[in-house]
Amino acid sequence: MGKEKNESVIESSLKRKYKLQAKDVNVFYDDFQAIKGISMDIKANSVTAFIGPSGCGKSTFLRLFNRMNDYVDGFRMEGKIFIDDQNINKKKINVEQLRKQVGMVFQKPNPFPKSIFENVAYGLKIQGIKDKTFLQERVESSLKQVALWDEVKDNLNKSALTLSGGQQQRLCIARTLAVEPSVILMDEPTSALDPLSTAKIEELIHELKNKYTIVIVTHNMQQAGRISDYTAFFYIGEIIEFDKTNKIFTNPEKKQTENYITGRFG
């Protein structure tokens, strides 16, 4: 993605104002309209949180960026999604290549029923990378990034299913990081975890922000307030407000946003 091979990294990122963009997006599942006319620009190296009541389209919208909705029956989209100024729904785009750039972490940790090492190495293996040294280095650095290395380094061949919930989720993040994406999508990544694991992962997100662009769907408003730079408030398929997190939580423009934040409805 991106044809600017000869320019320096700084120059190209100055040109590219936004990492992720959505323009006039509508999403339908058969006759039901899940997303109504959303446009959004997300900056690189930021953490953006999607908040709002259940069923308002947050996950659906999130999944537009790695085209995971393609598998759902009756899915239909209008409008455009851009990553690095490229429309990702064009026919010539290789979806598998896209997903190496855009990683996803799911709500319920879903490690593969394989060893810890195999889990993290999977993304590399499917690209055809076989070099054992390379794989080992990459696995180690990924596990270190998620602060799991010390806990598992002597047990890399144990099944990933023997880890605790929090550890499994960190493993899933490590697995995503191993392929060196530029964007990480997180769909309620801590809602199935205990408070201690949640805290560890929030700390992790804070560190990852330096290298990645992160979009996180969360039900937990306090979490959004803690970790995100920008927040989008979704309500029944529309974005009511999208702004710096600080502003949303202290001085929102819209009454509806204020009502949701203060818990008048949920």
Partner 1 sequence: MNNIRKNRLKDQAFKVWGIACTLLGLILLLIFLGNIFMDGIQRINWSFLMNLPSRSPEKAGIYTALMGSLWVLSLSTIFALPVGIAAAIYLEEYGKKNKLASILEVNISNLAGVPSIIYGLLGLEVFVRIMEMGASVMAGSLTLGLLILPIVIVSTREAIKAVPKSIRDASFAMGASKWQTVYLQVLPASFGGILTGVILAVSRAVGETAPLIVIGALAYVPFAPLTPMDQFSVLPIQIFNWITRPQPGFVENAAAAIIILLFITFVMNGIAVYFRNKWQKKLK
Binding site for partner 1 (CB under 8 A): 66, 68, 71, 73, 95-100, 103-104, 106, 108, 110-114, 122-123, 125-127, 161, 172, 175-176, 179
Nearest distance, CB of residue 123 and partner 1, angstroms: 5
Phi, psi of 32 (to 5 degrees): -85, 130
Nearest distance, CB of residue 110 and partner 1, angstroms: 4
For residue 46, what are the contacts with CB-CB under 8 A and spacing of at least 6? 209, 213, 214, 229, 230
Cβ-based nearer residue to partner 1, 62 or 239: 62
Nearest distance, CB of residue 96 and partner 1, angstroms: 4
Cβ-based nearer residue to partner 1, 35 or 104: 104
Cβ-based nearer residue to partner 1, 28 or 106: 106
Task: Supply the DSSP symbol for 159.
Answer: B
Nearest distance, CB of residue 102 and partner 1, angstroms: 9
Kindly report the length of the chain.
Answer: 266
Cβ-based nearer residue to partner 1, 108 or 219: 108
For residue 123, what are the contacts with CB-CB under 8 A and spacing of at least 6? 100, 175, 176, 178, 179
Instruction: Specify the 3-state DSSP secondary structure of 266.
Output: coil
Cβ-based nearer residue to partner 1, 110 or 246: 110
Nearest distance, CB of residue 213 and partner 1, angstroms: 16
Nearest distance, CB of residue 59 and partner 1, angstroms: 12
Task: Report helix angle 132-145 to 116-125, nearest 10.
Answer: 110
End-to-end CA distance of the chain: 40
Burial 50-67 (b: 16+ CB within 10 A, else e): bbbeeebbbbbbbbbbbb
Dihedral sign of CA atoms 48, 49, 55, 56 in order: negative
Cβ-based nearer residue to partner 1, 38 or 98: 98
